[in-house]
Structure 1
Amino acid sequence: MYYDTVRPDPGPDPRKDQSAAPSGTAVLDSAHTGDIVGALGTIGLHDTGRRGSWGHRLRTLLVIMGPGLIVMVGDNDAGGVATYAQAGQNYGMKLMWTLALLVPVLYVNQEMVVRLGAVSGVGHARLIFERFGKFWGAFSVGDLFLVNALTIVTEFIGVSQALGYFGIPNYVAVPLAAVLLFAVVAGGSFRRWERFLFTLIAMNVVMFPMALLAHPKLGTTAQGLIPQFPGGLDSTLLLLIVAIVGTTVAPWQLFFQQSNVVDKRITPRWIRYERADLWIGIAVVMAGAVAIMATSAFVFHGTDLAGQFSDASGVADGLRKHGGSTLGALFAILLLDAALIGANAVGLATTYSLGDTFKKRHSLHWKVSEAPLFYVGYALLIGIAATVTLVSDDHVQGLITQGVQALAGVLLPSATVFLVLLCNDRPVLGPWVNSVRQNVVAGVIVWCLVLLSLALTAATFFPDLTTTQLETGFAAGAALGLIGGILVALRSRQESRIAAAEAAARLRAADRGGTVAPAPLDKAGLKALLETERMAWRMPALSTLTRPKFSPLRKAGLITLRGYLVVAVVLVIVRIAQLAGGN
């Protein structure tokens, strides 16, 4: 049944061996099974009640809500605030179209990890290791650890800049934030942690008065939805666009949300509510991004600071100078809030993956003494990032902040490719595998990300490339992707029809005592049978699954993508160094 009152979180039973998964499932940590214990209520493990009224559904959503909202708001972290402010200060609202195009990317990517988490019961890193082997697992987790460590540094830079605005020195602000972040996570209560995050998320309400104080113009804002390349398409603009992509759709989100769905004990029955949670989070993150971009765009328009972005601290000071002390203070509060949420989520994404990799306890339901690797890893990440922030100067911090977002954008295609492969892995997802439509959309997203990365590479190698030449390259790449997409869609449609027929046969056989009925089902009957199978499906223990074999063509494609991304990462670093030198 559904519990309207909030019951105490009993936590996991410490007498259970976390390595002993429940019979027939892949769950690695015993804390990942049990009641759904959310910030706003509890749903029993064996709850099968029907949600007939809107009120009942709303109460259920409030309990389920969390992973999608947190991962999206965490996306507007300190680096995100700085990147959106840079876009507004240097280009006005002319890059707002990038945010609109990222909405479907956000949903498609994160909806896939929702399904993976709820159906498999294990984290993203664990699935990559088990289904693709140690070689590809090490690459994926290695990328994650590197970018996440740098990302957490940017969060502490944001804390330093935000509290510095109010006169709190760096050597006080950074250690204080580090202690707070660890104390909240190490409490041994998932509910307490989620309530703290909800409190921080509620502080995002300051974005509305902040944007209104900037006196935005509706017409100018709407024009920003038209795709355009202000000043021409060059490596500087491309780097910023890649940074917007990287900060809005970051690889750490995939790992965090899947693990958080598992940690909250969400099962396939509740996927529709988690999808709603995700849409709520997307609405919040888009509103915040537009508000930040509009604030810097309209306040700095026509001033000496237009086109002169330095860092988030410079934005706060500039807003105070040209918009008033209240506007500057609201921006600093939003920056601090974003940094704390981001550091928490990115740190947990990393240590969740650490537990998945080494098969150790990794849940917020455990206390420090019960899951030492999980909490020690989190503490080390926070401690190292705080130390780097304290010993680095403003110039180095600015380079890290700009570079880490671009690196995330460049590495995103690789992470998305593995995500799509997992969501087409029938032994893992069974009837929850991607549909043909989902594969087409996911393929378009991956290819667009690759083209964007290729354009940045070309513009860095050949700085004299014109806007027309780059646009021609985009058009040629889009045509090539269209041809490949049609071929993939045709193959996926054939596989989907075969799988649907097999599933219907199994269900009819089960209903008729093992005798398959010869009469074909109509569309409605087949849909009902498939839905029945979906609700009952959970991924079997990973040790019982045969690892998929890569065809030579697929293996060559993955190796090519990996090799290219290594080159692209180097070129991003080169471009950041060039910008540091004033080129």
Structure 2
Amino acid sequence: MSRFGDLFKRVGPGIITGAADDDPSGIATYSQAGAQFGLNMLWTVVLTWPLMVAVQSISARIGRVTGRGLAANLAEVFPRRFVGLLVACLFIANTVNIGADLSAMGAAAQLVLGGNRHFYTIGFAIVSLLAVVFVPYHRYVGYLKWLTFSLFAYVGVVFTVQIDWLAVLQGVVLPRFAITAESLTLVVAVFGTTISPYLFFWQSSEEVEEEEADPEAGPLVDHPEQADRELTRIGWETWLGMGFSNLVAFFIILTTAVTLNASGQTDIQTSEQAAAALKPIAGEWSFMLFSLGIIGTGLLAIPVLAGSAAYAVAEVRGWRTGLERKPSEAGPFYAVLGGAILLGVGIDFMPLDPIKALFWSAVLNGIITVPVMAAMLVVASRPKQMGAFVATLGQRVLGWTATAVMAAAAVAMFVLMA
């Protein structure tokens, strides 16, 4: 029983990180992919799973090996102006993502309760800010992680809708779609919402917090005897957490493909249309399930988005960091975190539908991820930073493959837009 309990505790962070990756931006992007291109976008989440595992494992390895977050390590290798530019891009992308998530959460609450969307958006922002400042994050997510299981409603489509599994396999292995600016923009959005830069900074910094919270632990460069255990843990937990994330993403695309796309609805303009994809499963309760998924993953993702921006800025500036610390112990860190959330609220008052805001925040992430990922791979390959624990050959190959694939998609998108 004690072994099971220990395993359950260890699984938690990986599962939560994976669930946070399926945030409202992810749900909106995957829904749009399935509605617009049917089964022909399933390949994207299958391809990104091993690539996602590689880059997330590398980011976690950097934090656990060095005892410093990703931004702090980048600042030791690259010119500070370059790192500052990366961090500024991260802050902008995260703020847009936070605003889009909050807007979608407000729209989701309006679907169920009626009333004013902006009122709910501001309420969720205040709740998120107060929770992340005054409640230790490990306890906060303990209250919320069960909400993410509402996302499994999408998985239920396999039991309620007749599916041509041969066509599903073809969509994974031999997709058919015209290479246009529109299709490549959607590919960049799927890549960007799946392999997001904020998760690199987050996972690296959380490994540092885990190490600092354990009096018997230390950076692996100083405590190499702990390496086998910790690097093995990082490996299987990342495979499991990212597997959960991509499994849900796969079924969101599948569900919207066999419902919305099959019925001729190929462009999701509103939250109501996205919720309609669940009607074959939940009937009149579809809006409730959709709202729980949006709100639950949003409440999980906002601290991750704001926290990763705060970690990055604070590490570059040399400030004290930590979501487990009190505000009086890390004032500037929490100021950046709170500023990202409050600035994000302004997105809700822009004349842009929440679903569209979510989609374009994913596209923005898909562009910014490329230089961040390349810089991270350089750090992970340097013995001066990593000692004997540089990224493995497999991680480097998959990491640079992910960088090349995402860079090619972004460049091709811009070329076809011109």
TM-score (ref. length: structure 1): 0.65
Tell me, in whole angstroms, the C-alpha distance in 2 between the residues paired with 1:354 and 1:66. Answer: 27
Shift of 1:65: 3.5
Deviations 1:43-77 (A, max 9, x none): xxxxxxxxxxxx63x54443334443333221111
Partner deviation per Cα, 1:248-294 (whole Å, 9 max, x = no partner): 00111111110111112275432211222212211211121122112
Q: What is the alpha-carbon root mean square deviation over aligned residues? A: 2.4
Aligned positions of 1:67-146 closer than 5 A: 67-146=13-92
SS at match of 2:155: helix
Query: Does residue 292 in structure 1 map to residue 252 in structure 2?
Result: yes
- Separation in 2, partners of 1:315, 1:332: 10
Which deviates the most, 403-412 or 93-102?
403-412
Give the distance between the partners of 1:346 and 1:211, measured in 2 at CA.
32
Aligned to 2:350: 392
Is the CA contact 1:214–1:323 (under 8 Å) kept in the aligned structure 2? no
How much has 1:205 moved relative to structure 2? 4.0
Q: CA deviation at 1:148?
A: 0.7
| 1:416 aligned residue | 373
Alpha-carbon separation, structure 2, partners of 1:449 and 1:227: 19
- Residues 38 and 262 in structure 2, CA contact (< 8 A), matched pair in contact too: no
The match for 1:149 is 95
> In structure 1, which of residues 248, 254, 266 is the aligned counterpart of residue 194 of structure 2?
248
2:286 matches 1:327: yes
Aligned residue identity for 1:274: I
For 1:425, the aligned partner's letter is: R
CA contact (8 A) 1:243 1:408 kept: yes
Match of 1:453 in 2: 410
Residues 321, 224 of structure 1: alpha-carbon distance in 2 compared, 3 angstrom cutoff? closer
The superposition leaves residues 70-113 of structure 1 with CA deviations (integer Å, 9 ceiling, x where unpaired) of: 33221111111011111111111111011110011101101101
Partner residue in 2 for 1:401: 358
Shift in Å, 1:304: 4.5
Alignment of 1:274-353 (within 5 A): 274-305=234-265, 307-317=266-276, 320=279, 324-353=283-312
Asked whether the equivalents of residues 211 and 292 of structure 1 are also in contact (C-alpha less than 8 Å), the reply is no
Q: 1:251 to 1:330 in 2, by over 3 A?
A: same
Give the AA of the match of 2:268.
Answer: F
- Residue of structure 2 equivalent to 1:52: none
Which structure has the higher relative contact order (CA within 8 Å, separation 6+)? 2
Match of 1:324, SS state, is: helix
Query: Is 1:219 aligned with 2:166?
Result: yes
C-alpha deviations, 1:316-349, integer Å up to 9, x for none? 2565599731233322321222222221211111
CA distance in 2, matches of 1:216, 1:288: 17
Distance change (3 Å), C-alpha of 1:320 and 1:440: closer
Find the counterpart in structure 2 of residue 272 from structure 1.
232
1:243/1:402 contact within 8 Å kept? yes
Cα–Cα, structure 1 residues 211 and 316, in superposed 2: closer, same or farther, change >3 Å?
Answer: farther
Deviation at 1:300, TM superposition (A): 2.0
Amino acid in the other structure paired with 1:111: S
Deviations 1:385-405 (A, max 9, x none): 12331x22344x454322221
| Offset of residue 165 of structure 1 | 1.1
CA change 1:441–1:321 in 2 (3 A) is closer
Q: Which string of whole-angstrom CA distances, capped at 9 and with x for unpartnered residues, describes residues 325-380 of structure 1?
A: 12333223212222222212111111111221222221122112222222222222
Alpha carbons of structure 1 residues 174 and 215: separation in structure 2 relative to 1, 3 Å: farther
Aligned residues of 1:67 and 1:257 also touching (Cα < 8 A): no
Q: Which amino acid aligns with 1:429?
A: M
SS state at 2:79 partner: helix
Do the aligned residues in 1 keep the contact of 2:41 with 2:253 (CA within 8 Å)?
no
Task: State the secondary structure of the residue aligned to 2:242.
Answer: helix
Q: 1:194 to 1:69 in 2, by over 3 A?
A: same
**TM-aligned CA distance change 1:214 to 1:315, over 3 Å:** farther
Q: Structure 2 regions of 5+ residues with no counterpart?
A: 212-216, 221-225
Indicate if the aligned counterparts of 2:62 and 2:386 stay in contact, CA closer than 8 A: yes
SS of corresponding position for 1:166: helix
Distance 1:356 1:196, change over 3 A: farther
Amino acid aligned to 1:392: M
1:423 positional shift: 0.7
For this pair of structures, how many residues does the alignment match?
403
Between the aligned residues of both structures, percent identity stands at 20
In 2: Cα distance, 1:301 partner to 1:90 partner: 6
Q: Which structure dedicates a bigger proportion of its chain to helix?
A: 2
Which position in structure 2 is the counterpart of 1:358? Answer: 317
Alignment check: 8 A CA contact 2:153 2:278 kept: no
Alpha carbons of structure 1 residues 190 and 237: separation in structure 2 relative to 1, 3 Å: closer
Alpha-carbon deviation of 1:121?
0.9
CA contact (8 A) 2:91 2:340 kept: no
| Structure 1 residues without counterparts, runs of 5 or longer | 5-54, 462-583
Give the Cα separation in 2 of the matches to 1:321 and 1:70: 28
- Partner residue of 1:425? 382
Q: Which has the larger radius of gyration?
A: 1
On the 8 A contact 1:67/1:261 being kept in 2, the answer is no
Deviation of the 1:440 alpha carbon: 2.7
- Note if 1:234 corresponds to 2:234: no
For residues 483-539 of structure 1, the C-alpha deviation after alignment (integer angstroms, 9 at most, x for no partner) is xxxxxxxxxxxxxxxxxxxxxxxxxxxxxxxxxxxxxxxxxxxxxxxxxxxxxxxxx
* 1:384–1:214 CA distance, 2 compared to 1 (3 A): farther
